[in-house]
A and B are shown apart, each in its own frame.
Chain A
Amino acid sequence: MAPRSLLDVDDLAPAELVGVLDRAVAFRDALPSRSLLAGVPVLNLFFEASTRTATSFTLAEQRVGADVISFAPGASSLGKGETIADTALTLHGIGVRVIVVRHHESGFARRLADAFDGHVVNAGDGTHAHPTQALLDLMTLRQEFGRFAGLRVAIVGDILHSRVARSNIVGMTMLGIDVTLVGPATLLPDAFASHGVRIERDLDALLPSLDAVMMLRIQRERISGGLLPSLDDYTQRYQLNRARLRSLRNDAVILHPGPYNRGVELTDDVLDDPRSRYVAQVHNGVFVRMAVLDLLVNGAAVAA
């Protein structure tokens, strides 16, 4: 049975998750025909602006032949829960079968999926989840190491506000990756230390042991919000820079979900470093999203 919706990574069983990645690799090696989702109306419903994710989804939808509709209602309208059910009914009525949704509130995708008689793909909800981003990160790691079990990965920075980190924690622990979270207590409360995830505050001590390090974006408003004393103070302990790159093994890789803040969580040295996989991540994103749409709409794999 295929899942109706992908709201977070754990809507997929581990074997299914690996199946999606296999399929994404197959699509990358040879583009499928445009008949996979031929004529299936797919709505991109982005309440929150996101050029990269929206573009990646649109390209993926076009490559599997879907009828793509894009709608950006903005943050203000359709936000009220009392209209979720009505909206879902209307969208179903006009024939939409898949909704790719991004919303600024955690749980919006879940609420929409509960009301919508069709497939919902969560393209990011509040600080909760961003499963296709986690899948493309996993695809990038497997491409690099050929395995998941036993890999040592650190996620560094603002874990508290990161839906990417949450979905990666879910996906990585599912697949046997050894995950360590690194950041100051204001952005990484102790309550995250559970379900086989460890918390460390000392990035320098950890770096030499890692197979991969994922750097998260730090937003300047965290200073005015009282979560950081200054960016200088933060970067002194948590920035990936030239000095810390020397501690990272040669066969390790650097991930970043983007967009990054140069000079904050990382320096230009990192972007120029051969271990950085930013481009591969973006590239893999399109194929992962094609594979997800194929799985949700068509169920078990069909010939590519």
Chain B
Amino acid sequence: MKTLIRGGRVIDPLQGIDANRDVLIENGFVTQIGEHLDAAGVRVVDASNAFVAPGFIDMHVHLREPGQTHKETIATGTAAAVAGGFTAVACMPNTEPALDSAAIVSEVVRRADAAGLARVYPVGAITRGRAGAELAPYHLLADAACVAFSDDGSTPRDARVLRNAARYAADLAHCFISHCEDADLKGDAVMNEGEASMRLGLDGSPGLAEDVIVARDLLIAQDTGKAWHIAHVSTANSLELIRWARGRGVRVTCEVTPHHLAFVDDRFDDYRADSKVNPPLRDARDRDALRAGVLDGTIDAFATDHAPHGLDEKAQLLSAAPVGFTGLEIAVGAYALALPELGLERYVTLLSVNPARILGVPGGSLAVGSAGDVTVFADRPWTVDARLFRSKGKNTPFDGLTLPRRALATVIDGAVVFEHGRVLPREEVPA
């Protein structure tokens, strides 16, 4: 099978390419990058007036399977991924049951293969059942295809457990991904603590709830030497702490979501849960610090924290409604909306190069011999209509907004899985 991505402006930061080039993929791997490559007898993806990048990787999504398939399935989640321009996603372990055994992880991999869309990289739990007490079997999980470990959604409350986990897993290259939130400081909060929560009479979680766990985890990372990744940073202080740790030689990376870059905590006047998310949308000072952190290189990766829920679940009272938004199908445009000044090279680095490097997975480059995973995208404004999402989750604060950029085509192993607004499972692609 041969596929030619023709006529696009290739942005490949690792090779230092930013020029109009054709990309030829044969038998799943990039075999040529050049001008005016021969298109005879190959499947052609027209990328004229568009950008061509190594496939985008979302290193933080929730596919809800097993256990909550009314919210999402691996099939619907990976359809959303490729429709959003992602060739691969890392799925978080807060499923039911949690991804804390090789058997469950293998089942996720099997279902992802059956769906035949985006690559799925499971993230194993740090503690059994994500309960914060007993260590998960890291080597067995790694053998079963886990690419990192996290108790996402929460964090081990007991620092000794987390330290032991990091020490035990130290011989594995797999990083620990921290959801930084102190459950005690957070309490029953439904939003950020600040002027808005005071005015509305709503329980607020202070930025401090994130900062103290970021500080703790960075010190444990330093102590254990483990590579560490801070998920969905949301505060200015978190970024300061990460800069400090890097200055001390700690191997730490971090990610930011589109919603934390775009919105602040002034969205609760109607008392609906449409804007309820963890960590909560912060204030303008934090949001501005996050934007600056992307531009100055402190933030390594874009990640959606795609967290689908049923509409009826989100329609409950604020206290009862679940946290999180669907994100895969708006991300490419949402980052561009929040950061119009971000250059394309850095944009691709955050969406592809760095997620691949942090997770240690293929991708991040279109160099000859690399996996034939490609995202074609363009600066073409479009208006979000969440009802049309492939994801079962229809809740996003970007609904109804006009985004400046969108994915046009998604190619995995040389197979076109998304083009012209249609998702095409890999099996159906003519060989």
Q: Which of A124-167 contact B (CB under 8 A)?
A: 125-129, 160, 163, 166
Q: Which of B94-137 contact A (CB under 8 A)?
A: none
**Closest CB-CB distance, B129 to chain A, in whole Å?**
27
Does A52 reach chain B (CB closer than 8 Å)? Answer: no
In the assembled complex, which residues on chain B have CB atoms less than 8 Å from the CB atom of A194? 195
Q: Which of B310-360 contact A (CB under 8 A)?
A: 312-313, 315-321
Binds A, one of B173-181, B198-206, B369-377: B198-206
Question: Cα distance A110–B269 when bound, in Å?
Answer: 9
**Closest CB-CB distance, A107 to chain B, in whole Å?**
3
Question: Cα distance A107–B199 when bound, in Å?
Answer: 12
Main secondary structure of the interface of B (DSSP, over half): loop
Does A46 reach chain B (CB closer than 8 Å)? Answer: no
Does A80 reach chain B (CB closer than 8 Å)? Answer: yes
In the assembled complex, which residues on chain B have CB atoms less than 8 Å from the CB atom of A108? 271, 317
In the assembled complex, which residues on chain B have CB atoms less than 8 Å from the CB atom of A16? none
In the assembled complex, which residues on chain B have CB atoms less than 8 Å from the CB atom of A110? 270-271
A81 B320 Cβ-Cβ under 8 A: yes
Given contacts A126-B201, A127-B201, A191-B194, contact A105 B270 (CB under 8 A): no
A114 B270 Cβ-Cβ under 8 A: yes
Question: Cα distance A76–B204 when bound, in Å?
Answer: 23
Q: Which of A173-227 contact B (CB under 8 A)?
A: 189, 191-192, 194
Does A283 reach chain B (CB closer than 8 Å)? Answer: no
A82 B316 Cβ-Cβ under 8 A: yes
Does A41 reach chain B (CB closer than 8 Å)? Answer: no
Does A32 reach chain B (CB closer than 8 Å)? Answer: no
Question: Cα distance A161–B116 when bound, in Å?
Answer: 52
In the assembled complex, which residues on chain B have CB atoms less than 8 Å from the CB atom of A192? 198
B193 A191 Cβ-Cβ under 8 A: yes
Does A267 reach chain B (CB closer than 8 Å)? Answer: no
Question: Cα distance A163–B200 when bound, in Å?
Answer: 10
Does A34 reach chain B (CB closer than 8 Å)? Answer: no
B312 A82 Cβ-Cβ under 8 A: yes
Contact of B271 among A79, A106, A189 (CB under 8 A): A106
Contact of A81 among B197, B201, B202, B317 (CB under 8 A): B317
Question: Cα distance A108–B200 when bound, in Å?
Answer: 12
A105 B318 Cβ-Cβ under 8 A: yes
**Closest CB-CB distance, B38 to chain A, in whole Å?**
59
In the assembled complex, which residues on chain A have CB atoms less than 8 Å from the CB atom of B193? 189, 191
In the assembled complex, which residues on chain B have CB atoms less than 8 Å from the CB atom of A114? 270
Contact of B321 among A81, A160, A189 (CB under 8 A): A81
Contact of B317 among A111, A127, A163, A191 (CB under 8 A): A111
Does B272 reach chain A (CB closer than 8 Å)? Answer: yes
Does B299 reach chain A (CB closer than 8 Å)? Answer: no
In the assembled complex, which residues on chain A have CB atoms less than 8 Å from the CB atom of B199? 166
Q: Select the residue from A84, A85, A106, A114 with max chain B CB neighbours within 10 A.
A: A106
Contact of B316 among A81, A125, A127, A189 (CB under 8 A): A81
Does B61 reach chain A (CB closer than 8 Å)? Answer: no
In the assembled complex, which residues on chain A have CB atoms less than 8 Å from the CB atom of B317? 79-81, 84, 105, 107-108, 111
Question: Cα distance A160–B318 when bound, in Å?
Answer: 18
Given A106-B201, A127-B202, A189-B198, 11 new contacts (CB under 8 A)? A81-B273, A81-B315, A105-B318, A106-B202, A106-B318, A107-B317, A108-B271, A126-B202, A128-B200, A166-B199, A191-B198
Could you write out 8 A-B pairs with CB less than 8 Å apart? A79-B320, A81-B273, A84-B317, A106-B200, A106-B271, A111-B271, A160-B198, A192-B198
